[in-house]
Amino acid sequence: MSTHETTQTNSTNVPEVTDPILEIRDAEVYFEMDRGVSRVLDNVSVDIERGEVLGIVGESGSGKSMLASALLDAVVDPGVLSGQVTYRPGDGSAIDVLGLEKEELRQLRWEDISMVFQGAMSSFNPTMKVGGHFEETLEAHDYDIDEGMERARELLADLYLEPERVLDSFPHELSGGMQQRALIALSVVLEPNVLVMDEPTAALDLLMQRSILTLLEDLKEKYDLTLVFITHDLPLIAELADRLAVMYAFELVEIGTSDEILNDAAHPYTRSLLNATPNLDAPLSEMQAIEGAAPDPVNVPTGCSYHPRCPLSDEECVAEDPAFRPTFTESHQVACFHWQDSAEVIPFNIDRPEAHEVDDE
Amino acid sequence: MSSDEPLISLENVEVHFEEQKGMFEFFGEPDVVRAVDGVSLDIEENDVVCLVGESGCGKTTLGKTSIGLQRPTGGRVKYKGQDIWDAKDKKGNVEIPYKEIRRSLQIIHQDPGSSLNPNRRVMKILEAPLRRWHKQMSAGDRREQVLTMLERVGMTPPDDYAGRYPHQLSGGEKQRVALVRALLMDPDVILADEAISALDVSLRVEMMDLMLELQDQFDTSFVAVSHDLSNARYFAAHGGGRIGVMYLGQLVEVGPAEEIINNPKHPYTKVLRWATPNLKDEEAGEPPVRKIDIPDPKNPPSGCRFHTRCPEAREACRQEKPAQYEIDDDHKAACFREVSDHEYWESPEITDEEETTPAASSD
């Protein structure tokens, strides 16, 4: 499994992982609009390690949901997706996701790679009991119903729900937190290998979000899942995620282990984002908003798209788009020419162990 | 109107909603949702109060009640000593007319997009309240004032923004327009109903700073409703205000922001503290509650309403409702654990009858 031939045209380096379950190469999505071409995902390449929790973090309009759709070839018309997505089930085979026929894709989507979106209410059919959704899903994929429903009950119990009561309820009879957990159970009932979650907890209050995250951790262990968790909320996912990937203006700008990102964030945007996040531990005077606004997809700045907001930017940043480069470690990569200066120019406002010399495992 | 009256005073406020029954349950008792149950709270001039809690805890209802948008089913809400609903009903000796109260108490909604008319330009949207409340003002003065305010909230050049439609604004800009609309009334209190959490993380601090700056300049008090303790802390602490923690319609703890964050007393406040992610990589561990779902507000638990989830609950909590015990000036918590000689300490711990271990619950 080589990831070498990817150092092609735009010299995209990808941090290597030992056993990738998904490989995304040069994924690009654009829409033709009256105002011009709107590029909402711009040459994103990333590997997802089998069994890891990858947190993809970005603000609204950073392209993070587009990346999720791209993973499953689910970009809606008139969006045009190009690039390559390779799925490796683990038996040595490699599946070209974007080249699949409709029927093959339908199977892959629930049975191998499953997805949970934000807002459970709109994912359920309001006139069908929750149990009906499980049966229908099992049936549509030719799974054994009795066995599947047994698994459903266990999953619901794992998520701190009363299985019989929930299966016998209509969606509106459950609270938002219960619906969202039932939806997670539904998405895992066909025993997928990968679960992609797009802001699965955003509409819920913090206590429920946090509780669901601890439950996901257990679920992941028990069912051997690879989790891709997409969110705008960096602090929320930081604890659960093994690695974090930060998106800005439709591109990936930094990737590394959660510790590396939290303690040694190298991209000026990541550092400012961490400083802008209201936090219970930071001294109050030190929180700072990021000046300026994220760019319009039709009109992304030249060079590094963060340069108009970046305190470190110079002519080089305006002229040229920085490629990924390794920082303190090979696993921690950043798309910035001046990452070495970022810690000095943008110091963190809370004490974190600036841990680049410590190599933690 | 004596000057020592608080700006807004809530006395033992109750808001109960009756849920309509279906046709076939016609003869049954209607379900009553106790959204707010027995809350007393004062809001001073130039004050900031943040109400936090889970969804369904009644924080928005309490917020709306405090600015006279929701009529309480019990208790009283006073504005500078004048009962708001007596003023509305023209009952008794009305010292402050309802119209003036209404103007003085304003709201910014959670979703700025849907609170602005999509078919009107910003100028038109912002002129409307001036037109209504300052009938004698000339059109030129009106425009002038709108432009000044737009500039004040950082929307420059103001002429450009005034000519835009809401869909041509970003989320943060829409929220600013909503803020300007409220401020143009020169209000005493603005209720910000989850006005921050709808914004992107990187914009939240900026928006809160702006609101606090305006609090200073215009002497406006803010009541902010939020489910996010870290936003509430930032806003309340900078505004020199308090955080009120709500659970199932009741105020379980209230106190100065930093006290609530650094010295939480009520077990439920500690739960919210746990639920607020921090950026240090510490293991959060299991949630410090016995059940993660909130009970049905139609049928709240007896005694202390948190006893069904509280890790510290004992038999006494099931029997008796705790009063607000004073911990410090201004810091109160409704928990028996604050009373060293309460019978709570002698009573047996509550153990869960069924399913503490979720996996064991197959029928």
User: Residue-wise over B331-351: b if at least 16 C-beta within 10 A, else e?
Assistant: bbbbbbbbeeebebeebeebe
**Separation CA A30–CA B97 (nearest Å):** 58
Q: What is the DSSP letter of A300?
A: P
Give domain status of residue B140, yes or no: no
Query: Can you give the CATH number for the domain in which B59 is found?
Result: 3.40.50.300
Residue A44's alpha-carbon distances to A12, A67, A68, A95, in angstroms, are: 9, 8, 11, 19
- A-chain CB neighbours of B355 within 8 Å are 162
In chain B, which among 290-349 make CB contacts under 8 A with chain A? 291-294
**Separation CA A327–CA A333 (nearest Å):** 6
pLDDT at A2 over 70: no
Which residues lie across from B16 on neighbouring strands? Answer: B34
User: pLDDT truncated to tens, each residue of chain B (363 aa)?
Assistant: 445 789 999 999 999 988 766 666 666 667 788 899 999 999 999 999 999 998 888 999 999 999 999 999 999 999 999 999 999 999 888 899 999 999 999 999 887 778 899 999 999 999 998 888 888 889 999 999 999 999 888 888 899 899 999 988 877 888 889 999 998 888 999 999 988 877 777 778 888 988 898 888 888 999 999 988 988 999 999 999 999 999 999 999 999 999 999 999 999 999 998 888 776 656 667 788 888 888 888 888 999 999 999 999 999 999 999 999 998 888 999 999 999 999 999 999 987 764 444 443 333
Mutate to test the interface with A, among B48, B169, B175, B200 (most CBs of A within 10 A): B200
Mean pLDDT across chain A, nearest whole number?
A: 86
What pLDDT is recorded for position B358?
43
Contact A276 B204 (CB under 8 A): yes
Q: How far is B135 from chain A (nearest CA, A)?
A: 38
Burial grade of B330 (CB within 10 A; 0-12, 13-18, 19 or more)? exposed
Same domain, A163 and A55: yes
What pLDDT is recorded for position B325?
93
Residue B342's alpha-carbon distances to A43, B205, B314, B321, B330, in angstroms, are: 65, 42, 12, 13, 22
Contact A235 B277 (CB under 8 A): yes
Phi-psi bin for B209: left (phi > 0), alpha (psi -120 to 50), beta? alpha
What pLDDT is recorded for position A59?
84
Residue with the two structure tokens 């949901």: A65
Contact B201 A157 (CB under 8 A): no
Give domain status of residue B335, yes or no: yes
**Separation CA A265–CA A253 (nearest Å):** 11
Q: How far is A93 from chain B (nearest CA, A)?
A: 35
In chain B, which among 105-124 make CB contacts under 8 A with chain A? none
Give domain status of residue B349, yes or no: yes
Give domain status of residue B194, yes or no: yes
Is the whole-model pTM more than 0.90? Answer: no
Domain that holds residue A341: 263-345
Q: How far is B181 from chain A (nearest CA, A)?
A: 23
Residue B55 has its nearest CB partner, among A205, A272, A278, at A205
Examine the predicted complex and report whether its ipTM is higher than 0.85: no
CB-based contact, A242 to chain B, within 8 Å:
no
Beta-strand relationship, B48-52 and B242-247? parallel
Phi-psi bin for A283: left (phi > 0), alpha (psi -120 to 50), beta? beta
CB-based contact, B271 to chain A, within 8 Å:
yes
| Alpha carbon distance, N-terminus to C-terminus of chain B | 63
Same domain, A112 and A221: yes
Give domain status of residue B361, yes or no: no
Q: How far is B276 from chain A (nearest CA, A)?
A: 7
**Separation CA A191–CA A151 (nearest Å):** 9
User: Residue-wise over A198-224: b if at least 16 C-beta within 10 A, else e?
Assistant: bbbbbbbbbbbbbbbbbbbeebbeeee
Phi-psi bin for B334: left (phi > 0), alpha (psi -120 to 50), beta? beta
Give domain status of residue A355, yes or no: no
Contact A207 B292 (CB under 8 A): yes
Residue with the two structure tokens 């000689």: B341
Contact A280 B275 (CB under 8 A): no
Residue A284 has its nearest CB partner, among B234, B283, B294, at B234
Which residues lie across from B250 on neighbouring strands? Answer: B247
**Separation CA A336–CA A325 (nearest Å):** 8
Which residues lie across from B246 on neighbouring strands? Answer: B251
Mutate to test the interface with B, among A57, A207, A351 (most CBs of B within 10 A): A207
Local confidence band at A278 (pLDDT 50, 70, 90 cut-offs): confident
Give domain status of residue B212, yes or no: yes
Give tens-digit pLDDT for A215-250. Answer: 999 999 999 999 999 998 888 888 889 999 999 999
CB-based contact, A208 to chain B, within 8 Å:
yes
Same domain, A93 and A193: yes
- A-chain CB neighbours of B278 within 8 Å are 235, 279-281
Give domain status of residue A257, yes or no: no
Q: What is the DSSP letter of B302?
A: S
pLDDT at A358 over 50: no
Domain that holds residue B51: 8-18+30-119+165-277+288-354
Give domain status of residue B185, yes or no: yes
**Separation CA A110–CA A100 (nearest Å):** 14
CB-based contact, B203 to chain A, within 8 Å:
yes
Same domain, A65 and A205: yes
What pLDDT is recorded for position B357?
43
Residue B304's alpha-carbon distances to A99, A161, B13, B251, B267, in angstroms, are: 59, 24, 18, 11, 11
Same domain, A107 and A32: yes
